[in-house]
Amino acid sequence: MNTPGCIPYQELHISLFCLDNGCEQGFSSGGHVSSRWPPPVALAASGTATFYTPPYVPSACYGFQNRGVMIAAASDAIWDNRAACGRRYRVTCRGPTNQGVLQPCTGRSVDVTIVDYCPAGCQGTIDLSQEAFAAIANPDAGKILIDYTR
C-alpha cells in the first residue's frame, strides 16, 4: 500500500557519505540524494586502547611543546602519515580484552588530542596517556576494547 508522500521501503537507500571533513548519513530515492534526513550521526570505529606514562615530551607531532595530559599516540591504523597530529578523538571504553579485569570501564568517555606516534608493534589502536586511560578504565586492565570518533 502506497501512502502519498512516503517512499516504499524497498526504494529507500541509506548511504554513508565520507568527505575530507568527516562522514554523515543520508538517503536517496529515485536518483535524488539528501543528507538532511536522517540527521547526521557520528559513526564510531572500534579498536583497542593501551596507555603510556610520562614524560609525554618530546612527541612526534609537537617536539618539546607540552600539550597537556589528555593526549594520545596514534597507531598505524589512524596515523595517516602524520595527518593525525592534532586530531581530536572521543574515546569510550567498551570492555576488557582479557580476563585480568572483568569490568574495567568507568562508564565515561574522554576527549584526547593526537600528539605522538605509536610505532609498529603498538599494542592498541590508540595509545592513551595514563591520565586519559584512567578516566575511562581501570589502568590495571592495561588494554581495553574501545569505540572512538573524531
Indicate which CATH number applies to the domain containing 55: 2.40.40.10
Residue 10: inside a domain: no
Q: Which of 31-35, 96-100, 105-109 has the lowest mean pLDDT?
A: 31-35
Confidence of residue 42 (pLDDT cuts 50, 70, 90): low
> Is the per-residue pLDDT at 90 higher than 50?
yes
Q: Is the pLDDT of residue 21 over 90?
A: no
Task: Note whether 77 and 125 are within 8 A (CB).
Answer: yes
What's the domain range around 65? Answer: 45-149
Contact 101, 145 (CB under 8 A): no
Residue 38 lies in a domain: no
Distance CA(73)–CA(114), nearest Å, equals: 6
Q: Quote the pLDDT of residue 120.
A: 80
Res 53 pLDDT > 60: yes
Output b/e per residue, 56-88; b: 16+ Cβ within 10 A.
beebbbbeeeebeebbbbbbeebbeeeebbebe
The kind and range of the H/E element at 142 are none
Whether residue 130 has pLDDT greater than 70 = yes
> Would 32 be classed as within a structural domain?
no
Task: Evaluate if residue 38 carries a pLDDT over 60.
Answer: no
20 within domain boundaries: no
pTM of the model: 0.72
Between 39-53, 60-74, 92-106, the lowest mean confidence (pLDDT) is in 39-53
Q: Is the pLDDT of residue 10 over 90?
A: no
CB-side neighbour CA atoms (13 Å) of 77: 15
Count of the separate structural domains present in the chain:
1
Which is higher by pLDDT, 128 or 9? 128
- Structural domain contains residue 31: no
